[in-house]
């Protein structure tokens, strides 16, 4: 019987916004993404549309070697593996595909970020923070419920989900190790 997993990826970049959030909230991680594959080839979140412009944010597919991540020599982070049912996995896949196909309708929740830093609730149906998006996906799939307004869910909160932290450290090293294992596996099968 096939096992299904969803991966939550937590990071802290060296951007000014990440540093501000870290200094105010004292959180170890300031960004969250979700992936449906252990290799983290397909990570999704809300963040900057353009690498060097923090003022325009949207739903985006992320790459550890690109975007804001490419500006970091090291990328402190954690990967949480969540065992899920086939139905939960398919629901997450469906939701992510919806966001991807309709990305022009969704924006980064800048007001929600300010309100989050002040512990105030703010709701918008078409605006998300990174951790708000990850939480939305896992909540809609019936994986976790925090019983707090979704804009108040911080990346740090996602560590409390019942899952396995399969890696903690420099995510660039993790990705290189995963890519190397994948390449070696394909070479040995030739």
In sequence order, the 6+-apart residues with CB closer than 8 A to the CB of 176 are none
User: Could you tell me how far CA 82 lies from the centroid of its own chain?
Assistant: 13
- Per residue of the chain (190 residues), give pLDDT as tens: 789 999 999 999 887 788 888 788 788 999 999 999 999 999 999 987 777 666 668 899 999 988 888 888 999 999 999 999 999 999 999 999 999 999 999 999 989 888 988 899 998 999 999 999 999 999 999 999 999 999 999 999 999 999 999 999 999 999 988 888 767 655 555 5
CB 12 within 8 A of CB 86: no
What does the buried/exposed string (b/e) look like for 161-187 if buried means 16 or more CB atoms within 10 Å of the residue's CB?
bebeeebbeebbebbeebeeeeeeeee
């Amino acid at each position: 019987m096939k096992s299904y997993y969803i991966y939550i990826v937590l990071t802290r970049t060296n951007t000014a916004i990440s540093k501000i959030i870290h200094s105010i909230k004292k959180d170890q991680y300031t960004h969250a993404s979700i992936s449906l594959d252990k290799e983290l080839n397909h990570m999704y979140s809300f963040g900057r549309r353009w690498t060097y412009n923090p003022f325009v944010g949207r739903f985006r597919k992320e790459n550890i070697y690109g975007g804001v991540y490419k500006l970091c020599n090291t990328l402190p982070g954690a990967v949480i593996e969540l065992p899920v049912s086939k139905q939960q996995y398919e629901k997450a896949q469906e939701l992510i595909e919806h966001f991807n196909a309709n990305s022009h309708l969704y924006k980064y929740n800048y007001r929600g970020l300010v309100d989050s830093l002040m512990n105030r609730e703010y709701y918008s149906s078409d605006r998300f923070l990174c951790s708000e998006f990850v939480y939305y996906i896992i909540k809609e799939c019936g994986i976790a419920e925090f019983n707090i307004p979704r804009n108040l869910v911080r990346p740090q909160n996602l560590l409390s989900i019942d899952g396995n932290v399969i890696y903690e450290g420099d995510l660039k090293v993790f990705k290189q190790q995963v890519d190397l294992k994948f390449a070696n596996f394909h070479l040995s099968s030739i």
